[in-house]
Structure 1
Amino acid sequence: MIQPNNPRLGIILMITATLIFAVQDGLSRYLAETYNVMMVVMVRYWFFAAFVIAIAARSPGGFWAAIRTDQPLLQAIRGLVLAAEICVSVIAYVVLGLIATHAIFACYPLLVAALSGPVLGEKVGWRRWLAIGIGFCGILVILQPGLSVFDPAGIIAFVAAALFAVYAIMTRFAARQDSAATSFFWTGATGAVATSCAGAWFWEPLASADWSIMLALCLSGVAGHWLMIRSYEVAEATAVQPIAYFHLVFIAIIGVSVFEETIAPHLFIGAAIVVFAGLFTLWRESLQR
């Protein structure tokens, strides 16, 4: 079966997915300001697990064929790393803000590029290393270390980016043997089990009005992932992957209009440096492939 290639539709789907994910992040911040982060992430993962089970059931060969893997330990660790990244990110939303968190988080493609050489054995040329170095200069512009305005909470966002980069590297490694459906199932199932074991200790009743917010959070996660999957199905990754940076634009709009965050000049400049370095890295990687 020949995979269709419709870049325009893929880009539209990816832009919509990034908008929904930005809304999801805003809802996560709203709930995490009132309730324990672990509980919020736990409920979110329940819906995510139901979604990946449904995807696995519709995969070629059926449910059991989709979840079968010869590397269960790697897949389980992947799921745990992503669950930890989500928890750390939500904490960063609360203590640092949406805009600053995502400005720093935008460096994760650079971290992936830096790790792909020693971990996966991929060739990383001098141009990509230069882009990685420039990108981290952008992170320094955002964090402003050594200045009185330096916010140590920025380290939390960087830890989230590092965790997501490790997750991405492990996903590439797992993809050498397992299908995307298999990895997707293990991501949701392992995360749901882990967050349930931890989040159950922090359960607290939600106000009746907040249940609708929680439902919107869960539905937005399912819708965002489904749209992202569809975008990669209808178009090549090289066409749609750079569009994921629209997430930062939508986050800025939500952060300013809903949470009254501000975009300081150094934050804008640093984020621009990181994004351009990341786009260059993605472009060089596409050429390599």
Structure 2
Amino acid sequence: MPDDQPHPPYAASAAVSAPPMTPNAPVPLRDRTGLAILMMCVVSFIFALQDVFSRMLGEAYPPVLIVMIRYWVFALFVIALVSRQQGGLRRAIRTKRPLTQIARGAILALEVLLMVEAFIRLGLIETHAVFAVYPLLVAALSGPILGEKVGWRRWTAIGIGFLGILVILNPGGGVVTTAALLPFGAALMFALYGLLTRHVSRDDPAMVSFFWTGISGAMAITLVGIWDWQLLAPVDWIWMACLCVCGMSSHYLMIRAYELAEASALQPFAYTQLVWVSILGVWLFSETLRPNVVVGGAIVVGAGIFTLWRQRRRSR
């Protein structure tokens, strides 16, 4: 599961807020864990608001159009942020693994697109409940992709987590549909993105990866989404602006949080996004919080937190 590198704001509309894995990330300059935890909880709430705006706009326009506009704004944000760093854009462009960096951006763009589609078909609650499996997918795939050893404890947690997914989907109840594959596919994409981030972090600093994530993702989604271009209604531009502002503010707060405290202290609080999306889903979209979703989600989150804890313990 992700380590200490900041994670792009648009991915959070597709994810419980967690930064991608970067083992060589710097130690926080100051340890102010209490403030950092509060900031992470605020970030999780903003991420939930992003999901609300994404679903609202996705119901009226092609999801690929919404994701494309978000990426355009995020690309500008990335350029502005990177320009202020040491070396500026010239340093950010230089990567030792350009193909992998491009693949990361494209995979993350696809992940976000799948999530927006899932919000429309399944709703916020069930989408996030299934997507919460992504830390377990990271652990399961870290062996074949990165050659890391996964012990029996983590394999046990992975197995329990997938049982939680079955509880959520309730296959015996006859409610399983192909739409349920969307958040699972998004979780798989996000896991691959995280593992590739860990891979490139061996050669590229975090800001280089961040730059390529925004730029290559914007280019990839534009190649697909430009064919569905249409003007938004005036009121919908307001919602789009809110979506983009949430993305930029959440990213800034996340960067600040990880400057103040270790990721291992903050990560469990990122799961508060599940609480916020449940409240907003029931309140705004009349979604149903089914008992099996609550129980299954708790199983998946518990298994994911245990997997994160074991991974961090081994890395230390």
- TM-score w.r.t. structure 2 length? 0.89
> 1:266 and 2:297 equivalent?
no
Paired residues of 1:79 and 1:191 also in contact (CA < 8 A): yes
1:126 equivalent among 110, 129, 152: 152
Percent identity at matched positions? Answer: 53
**Paired position in structure 2 for 1:279:** 305
**Paired position in structure 1 for 2:188:** 162
Instruction: Using the TM superposition, give the Cα deviation of residue 67 of structure 1 relative to its aligned residue in structure 2, in angstroms.
Output: 2.5
Paired residues of 1:144 and 1:150 also in contact (CA < 8 A): yes
Q: How does 1:163-202 map to 2 (within 5 A)?
A: 163-202=189-228
**Paired position in structure 2 for 1:44:** 70
1:27 equivalent among 53, 60, 64: 53
> 1:73 and 2:99 equivalent?
yes
> 1:213 and 2:244 equivalent?
no
1:257 equivalent among 280, 283, 304: 283
Distance 1:225 1:135 in 2: 28
- TM-score w.r.t. structure 1 length? 0.97
RMSD: 1.2
> 1:229 and 2:261 equivalent?
no
1:149 equivalent among 147, 156, 175: 175
Q: What letter matches 2:80 in structure 1?
A: A
Q: What letter matches 1:14 in structure 2?
A: M
Secondary structure, counterpart of 1:173 in structure 2? helix
Show structure 2 runs of 5+ residues with no match. 1-25
1:90 equivalent among 116, 135, 138: 116
Distance 2:39 2:125 in 1: 23
Distance 2:222 2:181 in 1: 26
Instruction: Using the TM superposition, give the Cα deviation of residue 257 of structure 1 relative to its aligned residue in structure 2, in angstroms.
Output: 0.7
Paired residues of 1:67 and 1:181 also in contact (CA < 8 A): no
Distance 2:138 2:274 in 1: 18
* Corresponding pairs, count: 289
Paired residues of 1:103 and 1:248 also in contact (CA < 8 A): yes
Deviations 1:177-227 (A, max 9, x none): 111111111010011111222211101221111110010011111111111
Instruction: Using the TM superposition, give the Cα deviation of residue 146 of structure 1 relative to its aligned residue in structure 2, in angstroms.
Output: 4.3
The runs of at least 4 aligned residues of structure 1 exceeding 6 Å deviation read none
Distance 2:292 2:130 in 1: 12
Distance 1:20 1:170 in 2: 26
> 1:138 and 2:164 equivalent?
yes
Q: What letter matches 1:219 in structure 2?
A: V
